[in-house]
Amino acid sequence: GNSPAPVPSRPGAPAGPKVTVPNVVGLPLVQADSTLRASKLEPGAISFASAGGSSPANTVLNQSPAPGTQLDATSEVDMVLKR
């Protein structure tokens, strides 16, 4: 049996600790931004939706990946904001 060689990780990218994605849905963008950064994550792509009922503009309506997901530190979390 020749077992397959382990897949090398990207050079210069040590496997850092995993961080848990916080729940930023319902927060204003500025607060969501600082919450993500406090968890060693980065705000990713921002898109806008006209849903959200009576929420104020720039409230986070959705996020990807979902809260509780384990990511590498400095990963990006995409957000959908109320227009």
Each residue's pLDDT tens digit, 21-47: 999 999 999 999 999 999 999 999 999
Contacts of residue 74, defined as CB under 8 A and 6 or more positions apart, other chains included, come to 16, 40, 41, 42
Band (57; pLDDT cuts 50, 70, 90): very high
pLDDT of residue 7: 64
41 φ, ψ (degrees, to nearest 5): -115, 165
The fraction of the chain above a pLDDT of 70, given in percent, is: 82
- The mean pLDDT of the chain is 89
pLDDT of residue 51: 84
pLDDT of residue 2: 73
